[in-house]
Amino acid sequence: MADSTPQAMPQEAAPISEPPPAAEPLKTSTDSGNGAVKFASRKVCVYYGEKQALFDVDLDVLKNKVTALIGPSGCGKSTYLRCLNRMNDTIPICRVTGEISLDGVDIHSKAVDVVHLRARVGMVFQKPNPFPKSIYDNIAYGPRIHGIASSKGELDDIVQSSLEKAGLLKEVHDRLQEPGTGLSGGQQQRLCIARAVAVEPEVILMDEPCSALDPIATARIEELIDELRENYTIVIVTHSMQQAARVSQRTGFFHLGELVEFGETEQIFTNPQDERTQGYITGRFG
């Protein structure tokens, strides 16, 4: 948001004179074998009007990894996720401060256009929300507005390959002109993933993508997330700890707007450092 830019700018200039703390490497391109940092956020605070929803969140999203965000409901997981593609811009009362960089570039800086950012960072929502258009048009919409395809044939290819990547092609290849809203819930959610994939994003954000789905559809999506990891960086919000454990490599635990603990998924689930994390994953609250 507008307020965040002036605050973020000096920080960007700062690192040279003021070396970052060792525990929190800032914008390093590699992280000792863990891969490149895709998103780096530092001191991210979010306010809804007067109410602060996120407090100083520092979090690195690694490339080609699945990062899971867990925590009790209302703790700010979605809010954080929506910072990454600046979806919070669409909420008038929402204000974001702190620094978030994608590939080392501050996403709030003038160099980054929000439309371009959202093309690079796709999003899948909690409730499947296909457009009330045909399956084909749902997927073709993104490429069309971004002018990605230069011909009808190319667009057809994009639609096919996106459906393929979302594991939906087999089920719908013969009814691309039928409305996307006529699919089952799980299929709709995969259609939304295909729609996000179609604009060739680098990162896909998923906000509880399985919460409205039955276990079988959930399993399909989880498989899909694992496949997509090869080519995309994925950040997934989930309220299911099992899901986080199954699909993610890194996990962050949010509580009351704070990022309490963040690290390797295995470590978070087997050996949590913070007692709040421990309490949550052992089911004592949340």
Partner 1 sequence: MSNAVATDVQVAPNMNGSPRNASEAVAKSLKRRYAAEKRFRAYGLVAIIFAALCLAILLVTIVGKGYSAFTQTMIRLDITLYPQDIDPDGTRDPDVLSTANYQKLVKQAVQDLFPEVTNRRERRHLQEIISPGATYHIRDAVLEDTSLIGQRLVIEVPVSDDLDQFNKGFISGDVPEVERRVSDKQIAWFNRLKDRGVIISTFNTTLFTAGDSREPELAGIWGAVVGSFFTMAVTLLLSFPLAVGAAVYLEEFAPKNRWTDLIEVNINNLAAVPSIVFGLLGLAVFINFFGLPRSAPVVGGMVLALMTLPTIIIAARAALKAVPPSIREGAFGIGASPIQVVTHHVLPLAMPGILTGTIIGMAQALGETAPLLMIGMVAFIVDIPGGPLDPSTVLPVQIYLWSDAPERAFEERASAAIMVLLGFLIMMNAIAVVLRKRFERRW
Ligand X SMILES: Nc1ncnc2c1ncn2[C@@H]1O[C@H](COP(=O)(O)OP(=O)(O)O)[C@@H](O)[C@H]1O
Contacted entry of ligand X, partner 1, Mg ion, none for residue 150, CB cut-off 5 to 8 Å set by kind: none
Site for partner 1 in 60-89 (CB under 8 A): 85, 87
**Quick check: helix, strand or coil at residue 62?**
strand
**Interaction of residue 189 with ligand X, rule CB under 6 A:** no
Q: What are the DSSP E strand ranges found in the chain?
A: 37-48, 51-62, 66-70, 94-102, 105-106, 121-124, 203-207, 233-237, 250-255, 258-264
The C-alpha angle 237, 241, 243, rounded to 5 degrees, equals 70
Residue of the chain from 7, 64, 109, 129 that contacts partner 1 (CB under 8 A): 129
Distance CA 84, CA 103 (A): 12
Looking at the Cβ atoms of 189 and 265, the one nearer to partner 1 is: 189
Q: What letter does residue 30 receive in the DSSP assignment? A: -
Nearest distance, CB of residue 78 and ligand X, angstroms: 3
Contacted entry of Mg ion, ligand X, partner 1, none for residue 91, CB cut-off 5 to 8 Å set by kind: ligand X
Nearest distance, CB of residue 264 and partner 1, angstroms: 29
Distance CA 224, CA 162 (A): 12
Residue of the chain from 84, 183, 199, 247 that contacts partner 1 (CB under 8 A): 199
Distance CA 199, CA 85 (A): 14
Nearest distance, CB of residue 88 and Mg ion, angstroms: 13
Site map for ligand X, 41-80, x if CB under 6 A? -------x----x-----------------x-xxxxxxx-
CB atoms within 10 A of CB 102: 22
CB atoms within 10 A of CB 154: 12
Distance CA 60, CA 57 (A): 10
The greatest distance separating any two alpha carbons of the chain, rounded to the nearest whole angstrom, comes to 60
Contact 262, 253 (CB under 8 A): yes
* Binding residues vs Mg ion (CB under 5 A): 78
Residue of the chain from 91, 114, 212, 219 that contacts ligand X (CB under 6 A): 91
Nearest distance, CB of residue 231 and partner 1, angstroms: 17
Distance CA 67, CA 247 (A): 9
Looking at the Cβ atoms of 75 and 225, the one nearer to ligand X is: 75
Looking at the Cβ atoms of 77 and 250, the one nearer to ligand X is: 77
Contacted entry of Mg ion, ligand X, partner 1, none for residue 75, CB cut-off 5 to 8 Å set by kind: ligand X
**Quick check: helix, strand or coil at residue 180?**
helix
Residue of the chain from 125, 160, 164, 211 that contacts partner 1 (CB under 8 A): 125
Distance CA 43, CA 268 (A): 22
Binding residues vs ligand X (CB under 6 A)? 48, 53, 71, 73-79, 91
Residues that bind partner 1 (CB under 8 A): 85, 87, 90, 92, 115-119, 122-125, 127, 129-132, 141-142, 145-146, 179, 181, 192, 195-196, 198-199
